[in-house]
Amino acid sequence: MTQFKEKAGKDRENASIGLYNYPVLMAADILLYRATHVPVGDDQKQHLELTRDIAQKFNNDYATQIAENGHGDAFFPLPEPLIQGPATRVMSLRDGTKKMSKSDPSEYSLIALTDDSDTIAQKVRKAKTDAGALPSELGGLAGRPEADNLVGIYAALNDQTKADVLRELGGAQFSAFKTALVDLAVAKLAPIRAEMIRLIADPSHVDSVLADGARKAREIAGPNMNAVKDILGLVR
């Protein structure tokens, strides 16, 4: 798994079991609800492929028992990844070749949903760019990871394609483009931040929502788990 290799780095022999098991736990979260489609970022596509492999192996290994228990030819659907939009992998504001991550040591590498307007503006203005102007066509982003990343973020926030953004803003210097990106990011993220602050101030409401969600999840997962135990011949 490329994610394990990237996260573990050169110290993979000392990587935690949590990091190693993460793809299997992700697969369990999907299969427990017999999901057919899962919205993910581009970097999670390999985890969906592993999930499909696990589902296919279970369906093949227990085909007879699955049929005998009235589940047809297969118990688990093979889930499809839903990877859409211009920013399927948002990269670091400090290095366009690395994924944006909250574990990055630099706070200027990412925009947090709890950041206020001034913080967002400061991070965007300090984002790494190159000396060239914004291109007018997609081909002009080749070999310019930071430019490509910022254009992708703008496009995603404004519900556009990268090509749309470049047609409108191509030729602009990055100082002007960053100003436009700041205004857009603040407008889109400020309501989210406000709602987060409201929810944090009302923990009892959050607890009730979580409890209700857990109940609904159990209603779906319970019968599926029981069916799996029947297929495997486990006593429940």
- Of 182, 163, 58, the closest CA to residue 66 belongs to 58
Q: The CATH number of the domain where 116 resides is what?
A: 1.10.240.10
Distance CA 212, CA 185 (A): 32
Query: So what's the pLDDT on residue 130?
Result: 93
Query: So what's the pLDDT on residue 236?
Result: 64
Distance CA 25, CA 16 (A): 14
Contact 186, 124 (CB under 8 A): no
- Same domain? For 196 and 111 the reply is yes
pLDDT of 162-190, one tens digit each? Answer: 999 999 999 999 999 999 999 999 999 99
Instruction: Name the residue range of residue 169's domain.
Output: 107-200
Active site residue ranges: 7, 99, 102
Positions in the chain short of pLDDT 70: 236
- Same domain? For 114 and 177 the reply is yes
Q: Cα–Cα–Cα angle for 105, 110, 111, nearest 5°?
A: 140
Distance CA 203, CA 195 (A): 13
Distance CA 192, CA 225 (A): 35
Query: So what's the pLDDT on residue 61?
Result: 97
Specify the number of domains making up the chain. 2
- Same domain? For 54 and 134 the reply is no
